[in-house]
Amino acid sequence: MIGPLILLLFCVSLGVTEAQSQCSCAYSWTPFQNQCYRFIPVRKGHDEAELHCQYLGGNLASVHSEETNKFITNLITSRDNSNPQTWLGGARISQTNYWFFKDGSAFNYQKWGSDQPDNYCGSEGCLMINNIVQGSWNDAECDLELPFVCMKKM
């Protein structure tokens, strides 16, 4: 109860216009560039993680810039200092090299790790972050159970 009260007092102290940009996310969500983000440490497969995010009012996170990729990497590390491999909202259309974000936004930024995506054994169709190098992307088997990052509009 005290956490939301402190957040409310903080928002009021900022003033209405600044508070709207900084405090429009619900408790346990973190604002960044007009979106709210939440790291979920529970391990789930990619489809199950997307359903969880939809239940919370969003989708698995889409990434459209280096700044957003760094923000998400820092969010993950702030919640779990082991920097775990974590699901993002990207997926590959089966048997193609075409990638899309599950929230319907354009796949217009990429941060693939070395030699990725490789669709190893023809079975990797989902996007994870923090593969070997912090912040780098990898394609992975969608049934792999990983923590994930949800995103929703403010």
CATH number of the domain that residue 51 is part of: 3.10.100.10
| DSSP-based helix, strand, coil % in the chain, nearest 5 | 30, 25, 40
Q: Which residues pair with 35 in a beta bridge?
A: 32, 153
- Amino acid occupying residue 24: S
Task: Say whether both 3 and 71 belong to one domain.
Answer: no
Instruction: Note the pLDDT of residue 128.
Output: 98
- Amino acid occupying residue 62: S
Q: Please report which residue ranges of the chain form alpha helices under DSSP H.
A: 2-14, 16-22, 46-55, 66-79
- pTM summary value: 0.84
Task: Say whether both 77 and 127 belong to one domain.
Answer: yes
Number of domains in the chain: 2
Q: Is 92 left (phi over 0), alpha (psi -120 to 50) or beta?
A: beta
Task: Say whether both 46 and 26 belong to one domain.
Answer: no
Instruction: Note the pLDDT of residue 118.
Output: 92
Task: Say whether both 50 and 126 belong to one domain.
Answer: yes
Instruction: Note the pLDDT of residue 7.
Output: 42
d(C-alpha 42, C-alpha 39), whole Å: 9
pLDDT of the chain, 154 residues: tens digit per residue: 444 444 444 444 443 333 444 568 999 999 999 999 999 999 999 999 999 999 999 999 999 999 999 999 999 999 999 999 999 999 999 878 899 999 999 999 999 999 999 988 889 999 999 988 899 999 999 999 999 999 999 9
